Amino acid sequence: MALTGLMWYGFLVGHLAGNLTLLSGDSGAAFDEYAGFLESIPQFIIPTELILLLALALHVYCAVSLSREAAAARPIGYRQLRSVGGRSVASRSMIWSGLLILVFLGVHIFTFKYGDRIDGSLFRLVQETFGHAIWAGFYLIVMVALGLHLWHALRSAFQTLGLSARPTLRRLSIAFCTIIAGGFALIPATMFLGG
Ligand code: HEM
């Protein structure tokens, strides 16, 4: 799970960096140029997409297997859920945040990758989409779930490696997840407000 998740962290950093050009205030020139550049290198993009898809499928498969094993090991659930032994709101909601992100991905790719560009501009399609409160709101909610999901995933990985007690790592991972989720959230928020 950790390895397949890690590939997505790499993708998210690159995707965020590219998408922040949406906010460069040049009516989409930089973003459309960036999107055009990506389309001009299918020999890189297509294998990357396939690897990400495979990683996602494996990630979901592992998540389903793990929750089945957990349910089988404890057929009668806990009477009371308490935040002890590293359990937190994020850890309990992992399966739900994961499901929401999965639904989001389907909708997101359908809207932007396969959506009709406006006058050939992907920027204008994104701008038009985030002009609707419902879309901007949906993205903001998903980005909160994404931040929690990423944060708990890092916590679990550190726990497995025996590094969970290190406060610096904890702070760094919180900062990293906040930058990723917050960075993505900034885009619909700014564009909705007309930026
Ligand atoms: C405000 C946030 C986001 C914006 C504005 C955004 C924008 C876009 C756009 C415009 C595309 C189409 C690219 C193209 O056709 O050239 C795209 C594709 C994609 N996005 Fe996002 N994205 C955001 C957040 C996310 C997040 C959080 C994830 C993952 C959890 C994600 C995963 C993807 C994937 C997998 C693709 C397809 C990439 C490909 O097939 O090449 N995006 N995104």
Mean pLDDT value across residues 171-192: 97
Q: Is 91 exposed, middle or buried (0-12, 13-18, 19+ CB in 10 A)?
A: middle
Instruction: Decide if pLDDT at 107 tops 60.
Output: yes
Q: What distance in angstroms lies between residue 155's CA and the mean position of ligand 1's atoms?
A: 25
Q: Is 150 in the pocket of ligand 1 (CB under 6 A)?
A: no
Report the pLDDT value the prediction gives residue 74, as an integer from 0 to 100: 67
Q: Which atom of ligand 1 is least distant from the CA of 35? A: 16
Q: Among positive and negative, which fits the CA dihedral 90, 96, 98, 102?
A: negative
Return contacts of 123-127, CB within 8 angstroms, 24+ apart.
Answer: 123/22, 123/27, 123/28, 123/31, 123/32, 123/35, 124/28, 126/22, 126/31, 126/191, 127/28, 127/191
Report the pLDDT value the prediction gives residue 16, as an integer from 0 to 100: 98
Q: How far apart are CA 19 and CA 193, in angstroms?
A: 17
What's the angle, vertex CA 16, arms to CA 12 and CA 17, rounded to 5? 120
Coil, helix or strand for 57?
Answer: helix
Q: Give how far Cα 118 sits from Cα of 36, 45, 75, 126, 175, Å.
A: 15, 23, 53, 9, 36
pTM of the model: 0.90
Mean pLDDT value across residues 185-193: 98
As a whole-number percent, the residues of the chain with pLDDT over 90 amount to 70
Report the pLDDT value the prediction gives residue 73, as an integer from 0 to 100: 76
Pocket residue to mutate for ligand 1, from 34, 43, 108, most atoms within 8 A of Cβ = 108
24-54 confidence digits (pLDDT tens): 999 999 999 999 999 999 999 999 999 999 9
Q: Identify the band that residue 80 occupies on the pLDDT scale cut at 50, 70 and 90.
A: low
Q: How far apart are CA 63 and CA 49, in angstroms?
A: 21
Q: What distance in angstroms lies between residue 166's CA and the mean position of ligand 1's atoms?
A: 33
Report the pLDDT value the prediction gives residue 195, as an integer from 0 to 100: 66
Q: Is 101 in the pocket of ligand 1 (CB under 6 A)?
A: yes
Tell me the average pLDDT of the chain: 90
Instruction: Decide if pLDDT at 162 tops 90.
Output: no
Q: Is 185 in the pocket of ligand 1 (CB under 6 A)?
A: no
Q: Is 179 in the pocket of ligand 1 (CB under 6 A)?
A: no
Amino acid 172 reads L
Q: Is 109 in the pocket of ligand 1 (CB under 6 A)?
A: yes
Report the pLDDT value the prediction gives residue 132, as an integer from 0 to 100: 97
Mean pLDDT value across residues 100-121: 97
Among 81, 141, 135, smallest CA distance to 112 is for 135
Among 9, 21, 2, smallest CA distance to 122 is for 21
